[in-house]
Amino acid sequence: MVTDGPRPPTRTATRAGGRPTTIRSLATYVPPRLLTNADLERMVETSDEWILKRTGIRERHIVDPGVATSDLGQVAAVKAIERAGLTPADIGVVIVGTVTPDMLFPSTACLIQHKIGAPHAWGFDLSAACSAFTYSLTVASQFVGSGAHDHALVVGADVMSSIIDYQDRSTCVLFGDGAGAVVVSAAAEGDGCIIDFEHEIDGSGGPALCMPAGGSLRPPSHETIDQRMHYVKQDGATVFKFAVRKTEEIARRVLDRNRLTANDIDLFVSHQANRRIIQSAAEKLGVDEKKVIINIERFGNTTAATIPLALNDAVCSGRLKKGDLVLLASVGAGFTVGAVLLRWGF
C-alpha cells in the first residue's frame, strides 16, 4: 500500500499485511566490565588514536568468563516484558537474533524461554550476523500481524568476545558484547506502527566476513585450532565498501516505495559497525547528521545488539519520541542487508 501524502499513516503496515504491529517496549543490557582502547594498546600493536580515527570506538563492554549470550538476553528480555506491562506468560514466540549462540543446540531461544519462564512460547534463533535484529523484528511483526500471536519477544544479543582473536589487531578493536530486546504487539489506535521492510542477502560476500571453522565443513580439530580458525576473519576494505553502498541502497528502496525522502525521517538508526560507514551512508542518503544516531564509541560493534542499544540511547537522550518516523538499516556477514521503517510508539 502506498500513501497519497508525503508521510505514511501511523497504523498502516506497507508490506506486512494483516493487522498493524508496533514495538511496545524496549530494553537493553551490557555487561559492566569495560575493555578500553588503552587496554588494547597493552594487548596488540595499536593505539587509541588509530582506533578512534579508523572506527570511532573508545571502549566496549566485555563479559566475564562463563557469561553467555542467553544470560545477557535474559536480562534485556525480562526488562522489555515488564516495560510492556506484560508477563512472560503473554509471550507467544521468542526470536533470538545472534551469531554467538550459547551452543549449537539447543537454541538460545530455548534457553532464554526457560530462563524467563515463558510457558506458552515457542521460538528459534535467527542467524543473520549484524542484520539479525532487523531480520528478527520483521519476522516477529509477520507473526503478530498474521494474528498467530498477540505478543512476540525479539532479542538481539551477542557475546562477540567469545569469537574474537585478541592477537588480531584488525578485528579485536571492533567488537563488544551486549543485548537488546523489544516486545512486538498488535497496534492499537494511536500506537506507533512497523510500516515497511526490505531485506536481501548476497552469499558471494561470505568469505569477506566469517568464522571459518566450527561448523560441519570444518569441525573442531587440532588443525583448525592451531590455525586460529574459530575466530572472526574479515576483509575490512571489502566489507566497508559493501556496507556503505548497501546501507544507502536498502534505505533508499524503502523510502522510495513509501514516497518519502530523507527529509521525512526523524531518526536514522544504522547498525553500529564503524563511524565512517554510518556517516558515509547517511551522507549518500541525504540524511541530516542531526538525525543520525551514533553510539559506537561506547559499545563497539555488538552485532545483533547495536540497533536496540542505539534506539535506547536515542530514547534516553530525548532524540526519539512518540510519533517519530524511524528508519533502521543494517549490513552484516553473509552478506545480509536489511531495513525497517517504523513510527515510534512510546
Q: Which residues are catalytic?
A: 130, 271, 301
Query: What are the phi and psi torsion angles at 326 (to 5°)?
Result: -120, 140
Cell (9 digits) for 305: 545488539
Residues in Cβ contact with 5 at an 8 Å cutoff, skipping those fewer than 6 apart = 259
What does R_g of the chain's alpha carbons equal in angstroms? 19
Please list, residue by residue across 74-97, b when 16 or more beta carbons sit within 10 angstroms of its beta carbon and e when fewer do. Answer: bbbbbbbbebbebebebbbbbbbb
Q: What are phi and psi of 42, to 5 degrees?
A: -85, -10
Cell 568468563: give the residue. Answer: 65
Per-residue burial over 179-218, b = 16 or more CB atoms within 10 Å of its CB, e = otherwise: bbbbbbbbbeeebbbbbbbbbebeeebeebbbbbbeeeee
Q: Which three cell numbers stand for residue 119?
A: 510457558
Residue 312, C-alpha cell as written in the block: 535506547
What's the rounded Cα separation, in Å, for the pair 276 and 270?
12
> What is the distance in angstroms between the CA of the first residue and the CA of the last residue of the chain?
24
Which of 201, 198, 199 lies closest to 258 in space, CA to CA?
A: 198
CB-CB contact of 88 with 116 (8 Å): yes
